[in-house]
Structure 1
Amino acid sequence: MSYKFKARLSSEWVLEKPSGTLLSLSEVLRLLAAVDATGHISGACKACGLSYRHAWGLLRNAEKEFEAPLIETSRRQGSKLTTFGQHLIWANRRLDARLMPTLESMASELQEELERLYPESTQRLRLHASHGFAVEGLMQLANGMDMSPLELRYRTAIEALASLDRAECDLAGFQVPVGEFERPILKRYAQWFDPDRHRLIHLAVRNTGMFVKPDNPKGITSVAALNNQDVRFVNRQIGSSTRFLVGLMLEQLKIDTAKVLGFDSSEFTHMAIAAHIASGMADVGIGVETAAWRCGLAFIPLVKERYFFAVHRDTLDTPNMQRLLDLMNGDQYQAYVAQLVGYDASHMGQVQTLEEAFGADFVASLGR
């Protein structure tokens, strides 16, 4: 049975005045982002579906509350955000990037609870994975089509593989770098793999590297730059595979993580890392190329990563899993991933054994 609703959760900025009056900033922030994108008020009004008069009223009221101008206008150059206005929208983007995985996971849980209230509720595939653009697109397509929806929980790779081992999910997402760092990462995952029980579904190959401002003011060219005390780094959360990879790279260069300014910081998504740098709160971070491109940052390639879903072998022939594989191998999803900057969808949807993916020596090392 399919349902005519989808549970969604969203964040909202609200200013509380001393009188207790609440002022929502959602419309103002959306308008500012549109001005930043279009370069003029009229284009922003059209993009937001607002009248010219209403838009100016929103801006003037917000400027009054903040006691600061938000936009600058001129007849020749159109409109642009003031420094204050620019900081507002980047703060909003950082918050969205931080909160989005949590809110999406909670919305998925709420959707599941609501559907259980119906007597004809259907079995859902449970996906546990770290946030990524290909995963995000898969969720949107799967839940927007006439198929059993995906239930998503954003987890680190280790958490996802542990969930699969406990039968708490049906698919566990994880990434493995190509090259010299592959074995240390696989060793970290090894306890959760069983070559007899598990199969892998290849999702994509993605470029991972360093994000810096477009003009690269600190002249950053490699991970070695993190050893400089005037370079501010923003890291991924504890337990994430990206954070572990950064640690391996620093260890290879004999750089003490305690000397990296910002190594102990934590962000939960690639977009949060990119927004952190674009807003001037850090000089460099590491993530997927797509995020750098979307935030207008320069990208310095470091490694290519293969992204997989681990599944139990006996679930591959179930109707729900077959529908998901059909979607992954279909033109619509293939085209979606192909247009993601830094992603290669050439082998998407291929089912592999652990030996086919990582070699006989790795399987032998598992001792099972």
Structure 2
Amino acid sequence: MTLNVDIETVFRFRKDGESMSVLVNFLKDIRDTGKLTHAARHSGLSYRHAWNLLTRWSEFFGVALVRRHKGKGTALTPFGEKLVWAGQRMEARLGPQLENLSQELASELVPFLPDNPAVIRVHASHGFAVSKLREILNHTPGMSVDLRYVGNQNSLVSLAHDACDLAGLHLPRGSLRRESAATAKRLLNPRIHRVVGFVSRQMGLMVKRGNPLDVGALEDLANPKLRFVNRDPESGTRQLLEQLLAESGIAPASINGYEQIEFTHAAVAAYVASGMADASFGVEAAARQFGLDFVRLVTEDYYFVCREELLATAPMRRLLDIMRGKEFQDAVAALPGYAAVDTGVIKTIDDAFEGPRRKQPRRRA
């Protein structure tokens, strides 16, 4: 039996002994469509109930959340906009943690259920393609994967200590690849480990729409007028940024806001989009999700690493079929800056870590 658990956030505000829950996604739909009828239908509300909610929220806060424009639909007020951005930042920040908690609960319960299938334990850093794969696995009957979000190097530590079966790893192309690959190799054994191709993704600078500070390269982050928001020190993205800065001779201390951190690609993008920072470093898909401009700096290859014997098991063979299948390939193609590169192709450690420029010997499990 495949069991999935969802844990959702609730935004409840308290004031003078009163409390009020606000449907932030409902407000977001109003912002995105300009139509209260559409937002109400999407949230499963009648038009009358939706309007009553808006009235109650406005009375609670003492300020209107929406404005109605004759012939132009409904728009959020600045306060309503701020609520939406706060909600999006919280969801982006907490999403991976809540998914981890959901998976932990499901993993504890499944052994007590009848006909529970063999489980593949996956540790990988949070990313858009990984999330898409998880969505597909969640609605695939009989497919049970215990996917936990952990940092880039921590996933390999988990694999080395048999805490997972499949570990995510992303390596930059170009001049920094050798250094990153050497770090990863210290935790792997070329005789027993194999690499599964997954995707490539574009990494670079997320900046405000229109790029008002004319950010075009890493050097521009040292502009004293620019406010930066960073990823957490344990993330592979933060480590890649620090490698790029060192290569360019840029001191992190010269970047205003370098110690201000968020924990996901989406969270730093939401931080910039809400006006709290001017730039960040991350994946292109997150920038596009929040309507930001993007300056490409480097391509990363995202892999999975496992012991060779796992490749012969039925659950892993089925997982590989899903990765190679049309549904996942189409999902990756729809992600800005992502590409399905050698997805599901098995390589040795040395062949994979050399990078895609060399012609690779390939085989399928």
Give the superposition deviation at 1:18.
2.8
Alpha-carbon separation, structure 2, partners of 1:50 and 1:327? 36
Alpha-carbon separation, structure 1, partners of 2:170 and 2:260? 22
- The equivalences for 1:126-275 within 5 A come to 126-275=121-270
State yes or no: 1:10 paired with 2:8: yes
Give the superposition deviation at 1:119.
5.5
Maintained 8 Å contact 1:157/1:240: yes
Q: Which amino acid aligns with 2:163?
A: E
3-state SS in 2 of match to 1:192:
coil
RMSD: 1.5
Maintained 8 Å contact 2:103/2:148: yes
2:21 equivalent in structure 1: 24
Q: Kindly, what percent of the aligned residue pairs are identical?
A: 37
Q: How many residues get paired?
A: 355
Maintained 8 Å contact 2:197/2:341: no
Q: Deviations over 1:88-119 (max 9, x none)?
A: 10110000011010110110010011112235
Alpha-carbon separation, structure 1, partners of 2:253 and 2:341? 40
Alpha-carbon separation, structure 1, partners of 2:48 and 2:143? 45
- Between 1:149-158 and 1:246-255, the stretch displaced more is 246-255
3-state SS in 1 of match to 2:57:
helix
Give the superposition deviation at 1:269.
1.1
Alpha-carbon separation, structure 2, partners of 1:197 and 1:229? 50
Counterpart among 324, 331, 336 of residue 331 in structure 2: 336
Alpha-carbon separation, structure 1, partners of 2:120 and 2:353? 26
Structure 1 unaligned spans of 5+? 361-368
Q: Deviations over 1:283-310 (max 9, x none)?
A: 0011111111111111111111100001
Q: Which amino acid aligns with 1:7?
A: V
Counterpart among 48, 51, 68 of residue 43 in structure 2: 48
Alpha-carbon separation, structure 2, partners of 1:232 and 1:181? 26
Q: Which amino acid aligns with 2:223?
A: N
Q: Deviations over 1:122-164 (max 9, x none)?
A: 3211110111111111111112112331111110111100000
- The equivalences for 1:242-321 within 5 A come to 242-321=237-316
TM-score by length of 2: 0.94
Q: Which amino acid aligns with 1:118?
A: L
Q: Which amino acid aligns with 2:30?
A: V
Alpha-carbon separation, structure 2, partners of 1:58 and 1:119? 43
1:57 equivalent in structure 2: 52
TM-score by length of 1: 0.93
Alpha-carbon separation, structure 1, partners of 2:342 and 2:298? 18
Alpha-carbon separation, structure 2, partners of 1:290 and 1:296? 10
1:117 equivalent in structure 2: 112
Q: Which amino acid aligns with 1:183?
A: R
Alpha-carbon separation, structure 2, partners of 1:359 and 1:16? 56
3-state SS in 2 of match to 1:310:
strand
Q: Deviations over 1:237-270 (max 9, x none)?
A: 1121111111112112222112211211221211
Alpha-carbon separation, structure 2, partners of 1:120 and 1:192? 35
3-state SS in 1 of match to 2:262:
coil
Q: Deviations over 1:55-82 (max 9, x none)?
A: 1111111111111121122113222111
1:73 equivalent in structure 2: 68
Q: Deviations over 1:10-29 (max 9, x none)?
A: 2111112332x43211x3x1
1:358 equivalent in structure 2: 353
Give the superposition deviation at 1:120.
4.0
Counterpart among 99, 102, 109 of residue 104 in structure 1: 99
3-state SS in 2 of match to 1:316:
helix
